Structure 1
Amino acid sequence: MDMNSYGTDTVADEDAYAGETNQTSHRYSPGQDEGGSCRANSRRGMTDSIKASYPPVESVRRALEILRTLNRLRIGTVGDLHAVTGLPKPTIVRMLDTLIADGYVARDNMCGGYRVTHRVKDLHAGYEGIAEVIEASRPFAIELTNSIKWPVGIGMLDGDAIAVHFWTGTISPWVHANTLLHNRPNLITSAMGRAYMAFCPEEERELLFQRIREKNSAFGSDQEAQHRALLANVRKKGYALRSPRTEPKRNITVAVPIRHGDMVLASMTVSFFITAVAPADVDERVIQPLKETVAKIESVIRFMRDGGSGMLPTSRDVSRMALAV
């Protein structure tokens, strides 16, 4: 890494970008207006994404098993479902009647049994996007923070900014903020935004430039030309740095895009104190581990989107897959 790169930036006159120079445009805290409380399962540094707070509700589990089985069978009778699940037939009938009442299943005599309806697509609609990225990324992001100690963030495009949806600050011994969750780094000065714009398809990049021009009259042709040159350099290096003019100036943020094919799904960052890592060591201690982590995540996303089922590949599995290629 260039020894002088901490304090320089190829985009000039950033202070002219009204509303664009702050790392975060706004943030919110979900549930802050809600009354009451609920027992959580995540003490600081001890999160477990699959550990339940309460014992499972068996009737819900049975209904989901019926729905999964029927979705796999396409069309099935009570006898078919009993043969696959082993559940009592009266239980299956009650579960089916409930699923019919909610619109997920239809009884169709012309098909000779039960079938799922179009509404099952609603169950999948919320998965593609941040839920999918977090499921694929979470163990590797935690592994990276445990290795290099610095917090890792994951953000996705949200209109004219990047929304931070995941952050390992709760397990980092060198965390530098209370939380970055729900912050919205902008596309011009943030590492996340720069990584996204540099690697997204050209057509999408042009639409993003159009949004920036429409929102900010101070973003003129000279600034746009300089930013395009910066993005070209980001593509060449394979990572982005946030603007050194962005507060807090004591920190550096490095971002790498998480991609699938030509699409950028998200940006992953590592943030650290300028004084903690010498510029000559940043590549070895931060950038390369970040790139390796993103490569593992992209392998898991390919596995998921290619129809892989069962347990997701672990870090060791991904390493074996890479060696087998």
Structure 2
Amino acid sequence: MEDTHIRAVARAFSVLRLMNTAQRWTLHELHQKMALPKTTLFRILSTLQAEGYVQVDVARGQYALTRKVRELSDGYTEKAEIIAVAAPIAIRVTREIKWPLAIGVREHDGLVVGFSTMPYSPVAVHTTTVGHRLSLDNSAMGLAYLAWCSPQERSIVMDLVHASATNPDVARALLESKIAKVVTQGWAVRQPSMASDSATLAVPICLGNAAIAAVGITTYGKLMTRSTIERLLPSLLETADEISASFYHRDGDAISRAN
């Protein structure tokens, strides 16, 4: 174990994980399950109680978690869960097809790349695109997301995107035309421009009938031909479907455990 490992902290988390499997525990029951000295367990429980994560019924000698433990998961959002599910799938696909994949989730009026397999690809254009913020109205991944998100979300997001436009009605009509084209062909593409010589092919990752993220393949601009799109599109669609199915089952299992 590295020198940075703090045993007391690790033990505290072990106690919390164990206590999460039942509603109430006695000190003796925790001692039997964890094989820690009762004095050590008592100090851990007292500390967790002082911090508000554990409560004690003195009369019965039982310990239980408090609602405050839910705060420990507040920073782990559905978007983070999507990335966690998608990452191993994207890595496997990149190792099979060699092309780099990126997973993007919406944040406010843009799409942020939460995971990229460029480090795993021998034909990557960049080292990585993780953290890159993409426009929803001009990037392939942004348009793929916007074309298949719920109508209510799309309306709100389009208002955000065009909030500072000189002529919002004209900008909105142009974007609606782009979206209609993407929906018709079933995918979005960004061809190279003066700003970037790379190109991206993207499709949505949907749950039900609405997009929850987007997945794209970025390559050198001159390689993004019709034949390249036809060759890569099946793998990209299969990847999106696999991520969606994995997220659905993982999310469903979490709900079942919570109930």
2:152 corresponds to 1:169: no
The equivalent residue for 1:77 is 26
Looking at structure 2, the residues matched to 81 and 187 of structure 1 have their Cα atoms a distance apart, in angstroms, of 51
Structure 1 residues not aligned, in runs of 5+: 1-51, 310-325
The equivalent residue for 1:150 is 99
Structure ranking higher in strand proportion: 2
Contact 2:116 2:130 in 1 (8 A): yes
The equivalent residue for 2:40 is 91
The equivalent residue for 1:306 is 252
Q: Which amino acid aligns with 1:197?
A: L
Higher relative contact order (CA 8 A, sep 6+): 1
Structure 2 residues not aligned, in runs of 5+: none
Aligned length: 255
Looking at structure 1, the residues matched to 175 and 18 of structure 2 have their Cα atoms a distance apart, in angstroms, of 52
Contact 2:90 2:239 in 1 (8 A): yes
The equivalent residue for 1:133 is 82
- Identity of matched residues, %: 31
Residue 147 of structure 1: how far off its partner (Å): 2.1
Structure ranking higher in helix proportion: 2
Looking at structure 1, the residues matched to 38 and 10 of structure 2 have their Cα atoms a distance apart, in angstroms, of 16
C-alpha distance after superposition, 1:204-227 (max 9, x if no partner): 110011112212224x42342232
1:114-263 equivalence runs, <5 A: 114-218=63-167, 220-242=168-190, 245=193, 247-248=195-196, 250-263=197-210
C-alpha distance after superposition, 1:180-230 (max 9, x if no partner): 222211111001211111111111110011112212224x42342232132
Looking at structure 2, the residues matched to 109 and 136 of structure 1 have their Cα atoms a distance apart, in angstroms, of 42
TM-score (norm 1): 0.70
Residue 245 of structure 1: how far off its partner (Å): 4.2
Coordinate RMSD, CA, aligned: 2.5
Q: 1:225 to 1:56 in 2, by over 3 A?
A: same
Contact 1:251 1:272 in 2 (8 A): yes
TM-score (norm 2): 0.87
Looking at structure 1, the residues matched to 250 and 60 of structure 2 have their Cα atoms a distance apart, in angstroms, of 31
Contact 2:199 2:224 in 1 (8 A): no
Residue 308 of structure 1: how far off its partner (Å): 5.5
Q: 1:264 to 1:103 in 2, by over 3 A?
A: farther
The equivalent residue for 1:107 is 56
Looking at structure 2, the residues matched to 53 and 265 of structure 1 have their Cα atoms a distance apart, in angstroms, of 38
Looking at structure 1, the residues matched to 50 and 237 of structure 2 have their Cα atoms a distance apart, in angstroms, of 48
